[in-house]
Amino acid sequence: MRLIKKIIFILFFLHLNINAFAFTDPNHVDDFDISGVETISTSVKFSSDGKTMFIIGVNSDTLRQFSLSTAFDLSSSPTLVNSLDISSIQDAAQDIEFNSDGTVLFIIGREVGNRGIDRWDLNTPYDISGITVGDATREDLSGDLRGFKFSNDGKKLFTITQTSNTVGTVTEYTLTAAYDLDTLSERKTNTLTTTFSVEGRRQGINFSSDGYKLFITNSAIDAANPVAARNVIREFSLNTPFNISNATNNGDFQPNYKEKFRLTGLTFNNDGSKMFHTDFTNNDVHEYTLSCGFGVKTCTDPTNDNDDVASIEAQSESAKKLIQHTTYPVINRMQWLRRNNSRGNLTNQNIKFQFNNEILNSLSKTLLPVYLSNYNSSNTDNENSSWSLWSEGTISVGRIGDTSVSSSKKINTSAITLGADKRGKDNIMRGIALRFGSDDVDVGDLGSALNMSTFGLTFYETKPKGEERFTDHLLGLSFINSDLINNSGSTSTNGERSGEQMYGSFSLRDTLSKNNLNFTPKIKIDYGVTHFAEYTETGATGLNLKFKDQYIGNFITSVGANIDKKFDLKNNTFLPYFDFNYSADMSPSTKQKFSYSSSGDKYTLDNINNATHSVHTGIGFDLITDSGFNLMTKYTRDQTTGGSYNDNFVIAGDYRASHNSSYVLSVNETSTEILYKSKHDNLNIDVSSNLDFFAEDPEYGIYLKVYTLK
């Protein structure tokens, strides 16, 4: 018993460690001594590949370029390769910046009479060789300038100035052209005043790569206790990227060295897993590792980001919607068959199925011959052994409103369903349907989106249980390929995620008729499960998320009724109808586990599938013709609690050929080919089409051949 308790305790402990994350302060790992070339360093920057480092200071007013054998690694013995003496135009150089591709260099200074930003155009990105001091252009700025930073798009400039011994100010400027200081013109947008409890200098400024965090360094002097001086890095959270008007102070990180030091410039590697700062006193560049991307004081919890939450919710909600969108055409078809059950099938067709997928091929060879065979003991009635072909196109638009933790979602669906069915013994009708669809979800207002390409295969059966009572069954399998975009406004991540679905539906209908007016109450149960594979985002260094596998259950019960009335026209039959359903979503809740790809912090979003109630209303009509072509149109609305809705526009066609014809369906990986052959006396018609919605660029086409054996 004790052993069992220990095992349970260990497993529980491991579970906690797998799913929990505790923030830790930055870890000091290395130093690089630059005292041989600069004794009062103020700034450090790296090239985008991390193999070139730049340092400047106020003692020599010289920019120095170092090469590193290992990216962003001070232990790889940085080597001095180039220098640029700017003392003739700057006598107190404070900070360094580059444009996004490293072709433009900026340096800021603070000495009275020389305050401003100097600019150089580089011949080679992140290489200062070949330029001279005389190549610089100047944009004058006021204030005791200490540091500066551009936004990712280069259209915002942020400067930090020393206002007093205890106060510093961050000023936000707008530029009409990226990195073009000529368009600055002192257009101040926002200011952020920062204060520290002890005397010091606001020296360095930087942002996280997504613009949601601001960092400021403070360099203090404490004569009584130099080691414990107020040298801190202050972290701010911003509600919107690169907007300092809504900054929230997250707290201060104070390095702990054995000797006195004074913080100056601050920078990070690309993914925010490392931090570097210069030291005004000891002439060192210090390297730290961070427990999460740009986690100086806090780790950004993606579960608190409404767009991140909405993107995760969109995948779960789309999975459930996909089951509905896949089953609706088949359910519409079975209802159509029963509304028009008195008509006979007039076809004499041959349909074959070919699949290269092992699962589908096995089904086609074993299940399909039995499932779609002739159920009559006698073959005298050719009508009952024939096929009917149908198709349905669907356009759906909807919206799910925002909540306190999730952004709004706009849903757009377009799909085509192709099907074939036949009448068997005892008026049982069975068939198979293929759905090719595109389900798109726009998340929030910053460009986040979910784009799903789907392929579904559904088997269905409608069976009479008396004169006017029917049961409808369906069972299917869908394959999903998703493209995900998560846009914060300043950074954008991309991901690809595959998935599979198994789903089914059962319904019972009982029709009450009088004078061609039919009232059909019904109950329905929808069920299924979706599996999404794990995937990792790309595009936002340090902030890319890695998602684990996810399973999403689906269980929805519905009650409702259908009303239709038949009108016999000269050569056609017109049948308008109205239907109503109330649904209760009792799907089990699902969870999504994920983490930052650059670190070990893990998060879980629980209770994604909350129970919802919805009302479904629809109106449409059937048009039955003697020519063999039949038409069904329908408009439906699904109104869900909370103001969410989904509008569906449906048009479907049914064809009953009167000539000998054959059909072949071939599925090869993601490519689908449908071949139709028809013979009219001595005239032969071959039509083939190919569809591949899962290709990077969706492919589709059609080929027509008309010939005679003569």
661-668 and 349-355: which strand pairing?
parallel
- Among the listed residues 105, 53, 62, 104, the one whose alpha carbon sits nearest the alpha carbon of residue 81: 53
- Give per-residue pLDDT as tens, 507-522: 998 888 888 888 989 9
SS3 446: coil
Using one digit for the tens of pLDDT, what is the confidence trace for 313-342?
888 888 888 888 888 888 888 887 777 665
Residue 523, pLDDT above cutoff 70? yes
| φ, ψ of residue 209 in degrees (nearest 5) | -65, -25
The angle at the Cα of 334, spanning 363 to 427, to the nearest 5 degrees, equals 85
* pLDDT on residue 588: 85
pLDDT at 110: 78
Region 234-261: what's the mean pLDDT?
83
Cβ-based burial of 281 (10 A; exposed 0-12, middle 13-18, buried ≥19):
buried
Question: DSSP 3-state assignment of 19?
Answer: helix
- Examine the pLDDT at 459 and tell me if it is beyond 80: yes
Residues in the chain: 710
**Residue 5, pLDDT score:** 45
The reported pLDDT for the residue numbered 322 is: 84
Q: Are 308 and 302 in contact (CB under 8 A)?
A: yes
Please give the average per-residue pLDDT across 652-658, as a whole number: 63
Report phi then psi at 235, rounded to 5: -110, 135
Q: Nearest 5°: phi and psi at 18?
A: -75, -35
Report residue 83's pLDDT band, with 50, 70 and 90 as the boundaries: very high
Position 699 confidence tier, pLDDT thresholds 50, 70, 90: low
Dihedral angle computed from the Cα positions of residues 494, 545, 305 and 205, in that order, rounded to the nearest 10 degrees = -90
- 142 C-beta neighbours (distance < 10 Å), count: 11
Mean pLDDT of 599-612: 71
Residue-level pLDDT at 365:
53
Torsion, CA 536, CA 538, CA 540, CA 545, rounded to 10: -10
Confidence of residue 150 (pLDDT cuts 50, 70, 90): very high
* Bigger pLDDT: 124 vs 339: 124
Report the pLDDT value the prediction gives residue 164, as an integer from 0 to 100: 77
At 259, list the tokens. 């000797």
The arithmetic mean of pLDDT across residues 265-282, rounded, is 88
Over residues 179-184, the mean pLDDT reads 87
pLDDT band for position 345 (cuts 50, 70, 90): very low
- Tell me the two tokens of residue 403: 């909540």
Report the C-alpha gap between 58 and 73 in whole angstroms: 25
pLDDT band of residue 95 (cuts 50, 70, 90) is very high
Q: Which residue has the higher pLDDT, 377 or 669?
A: 669
Residue 532 to residue 511: CA distance in whole angstroms: 40
* pLDDT mean over 23-29: 85
For the ranges 341-345, 501-505, 641-645, 706-710, the one whose mean pLDDT is highest? 501-505
15: CB partners within 8 A, 6+ apart = none
Largest CA distance in the chain: 110
Q: Is 321 helix (H, G, I), strand (E, B) or coil?
A: helix
* Confidence at residue 73, expressed as pLDDT on a 0 to 100 scale: 95
Q: What is the pLDDT of residues 429-451, one digit of tens each?
A: 889 999 988 888 888 777 788 88
Of 209, 215, 173, the closest CA to residue 194 belongs to: 215
Please state the rounded mean pLDDT for residues 623-636.
78
Q: What is the pLDDT of residue 314?
A: 81
Predicted pLDDT at 610: 60
Please state whether beta strands 567-568 and 517-532 pair in parallel, antiparallel, or not at all (unpaired): unpaired
Of the listed ranges 163-167, 289-293, 372-376, the least confidently predicted one is: 372-376
> Do the Cβ atoms of 636 and 617 come closer than 8 Å?
yes
E strand residue ranges, 401-534: 409-423, 429-443, 448-464, 469-487, 492-510, 512-514, 517-532
Percentage of the chain with pLDDT > 70? 77
pLDDT of residue 4: 44
Residue 427's pLDDT is 80
Q: Indicate the pLDDT class of residue 199, thresholds 50, 70 and 90.
A: low
State yes or no: pLDDT of 419 exceeds 80: yes
The angle subtended at Cα 466 by Cα 461 and Cα 467, nearest 5°, is 100
Segment 243-259 shows an average pLDDT of 82
| Tokens describing residue 489 | 């406004």
For 137, the token pair is: 């252009």
295 vs 697, more confident: 295
Range 276-283 average pLDDT: 85
What single letter denotes the amino acid at residue 280? Answer: F
| pLDDT bracket for residue 232 (50, 70, 90) | confident
Give 50: exposed, middle or buried? Use CB within 10 Å, 0-12, 13-18, 19+.
middle
Q: Which pLDDT score is estimated for 226?
A: 52
Q: How far is CA 84 from CA 49, 88, 127, 577, in A?
A: 21, 11, 11, 82
Of the listed ranges 104-118, 518-532, 568-582, 587-601, the one predicted with least confidence? 587-601
pLDDT of 372 strictly over 80: no
pLDDT tier at 97 (50, 70, 90 boundaries)? very high
Comparing CA positions, the residue from 310, 667, 289 lying closest to residue 455 is: 667
- The answer on pLDDT for 171 being more than 80 is yes
pLDDT (tens digit per residue) in 671-695 = 666 666 776 667 777 777 776 655 6
Name the 3-class secondary structure at 625: strand
Stronger pLDDT, 261 or 69, i.e. the higher one = 69
* CB 334 within 8 Å of CB 460: yes
Question: What local confidence, expressed as pLDDT, does residue 440 receive?
Answer: 84
pTM confidence score: 0.62
Contact 654, 390 (CB under 8 A): yes
Convert 551-574 to b/e letters by CB count within 10 Å (16 or more is b).
ebbbbbebebebebebeeeeeebe
Q: What is the mean pLDDT of the chain?
A: 79
Any bridge partners for residue 503, and if so which?
A: 476, 528
What radius of gyration, in Å, describes the C-alpha atoms of the chain?
34
pLDDT at position 501 is 94
Give the residue, 290 or 19, on which the prediction is more confident: 290
For residue 197, what is the DSSP state? S
CB-based contacts of 249, cutoff 8 Å, min separation 6? 234, 235, 236
Per-residue model confidence (pLDDT) at position 315:
84
The amino acid at residue 240 is T
Q: Which three-class secondary structure state does DSSP give residue 51?
A: coil
46: confidence class by pLDDT, cuts 50, 70, 90: very high
Spatial distance between the Cα atoms of 25 and 296, rounded to a whole number of angstroms: 7
Residue 323 CA to residue 526 CA, distance in Å, equals 9
CA dihedral 267, 272, 275, 276 (to 10 degrees): -30
Element (H, E) at 306: helix 306-339
Is residue 566 over pLDDT 80?
A: yes
For residue 645, list its beta bridge partners. Answer: 399, 639
DSSP 382: G
Distance CA 60, CA 79 (A): 18
Q: Please count the other Cβ atoms lying within 10 Å of the Cβ belonging to residue 699.
A: 13
